[in-house]
Amino acid sequence: MASLEFTLAQLAQLLGATLEGPADRRVSTLAKIEEAGPAAVAFLANPAYEPHIYTTQAGAVLVRTDFVPSKPTQAALLRVADPYSAFTKLLELADQYVNASLLGQEQPSYLAPGVTLPADAYLGAFAYVGPGAQLGAGVKIYPHAYIGAGVSVGPGTVIYAGAKVYHGVQIGARCIIHAGAVVGADGFGHAPQPDGSYRKIPQLGTVVLQDDVEVGANTVIDRATLGQTLVQQGVKLDNLIQIGHNATIGKHTVMAAQVGIAGSVQVGANSMFGGQAGVAGHMKLPDGLKVGAQAGIGNNIPAGVDTIIGSPAIDYKSYFRAYTVFRRLPDLDRRLDALEKRLKREAD
């Protein structure tokens, strides 16, 4: 919680919690229940961690409304409907506090003539903001970030150190772009030539990130050849992800690290992708699809299919039926070999 400090009474009011413990006790940080000190708030959401609540040094622990301790606890209890969500709210508050403390333009940095840095915004040292860029209220641009010409950045968006946003990209409100991410690099378009070489196809489109999108460290979202690569509201992308040109990622979709989405793919809303899953170009995927780790999708997935796995990816029930047979193949091979030898002996 950085240097934020609350009494437990104030914290209970903030979270709508029922307090069991001293109202005037002060806390100023957040910690895991097994590592917390007297000034920390921890949480207990998983019953497997219950033994820690009887030994923790935490000043207070968020617990479920119906939690019944089997032993006395030194920590005060803050009873809430969902401890994990309440703890997340405190993490958000701490993060906002850290970012709110960053204001103004550090030097050396470059702000193109005519570009306005709002009074509550931040531009870190060695950052670059190109001509025609538009920066919304409360924007935070960390050191060594690059914001190209004509980029628009919505209110409350945070762009971390070393991130690169190419020209003309549109970023919505409350987005987070982590260190090393690249938004708006050229799509991978090259036309084969008669002599076996490739001619680059100019990429003249853009990238649009709608509100509340998070882009992980070293993730790359390519600009469209024409039109836009679109990442819709609430999408969360982990580190080291590739989104190809002209792709559309449906709202509130989440993707784990090293997912690869080829050009012109349409991913439905509220989808979930495990790590290292890949989708071939021009595929169309339905809303609510769950994609297993390392799945390879080379065909359109019809509506009604909710979970796929494997490469080439198939629905998970078919996959596990096939996998059961696959595991038996060595034994089946030995039995077949023995049967062939017996038949050969009988034939002789």
Measured distance CA(346)–CA(348) in Å, rounded: 5
**Per-residue CA distances from 97 to 90, 93, 94, 100, 101 (Å):** 11, 6, 5, 5, 6
Which of 184, 175, 172, 177 minimizes the C-alpha distance to 228?
184
DSSP 61: E
Residue 286 CB coordination number (10 Å): 18
Q: Tell me the two tokens of residue 160.
A: 């971390």
Q: Are 154 and 138 in contact (CB under 8 A)?
A: no
Determine which one of 52, 167, 245, 282 is catalytic. Answer: 245
- Is 252 catalytic? The answer is no
Quote the distance between the C-alpha of residue 186 and its chain's center. Answer: 22
Measured distance CA(275)–CA(290) in Å, rounded: 12
Report the catalytic residues.
Answer: 245
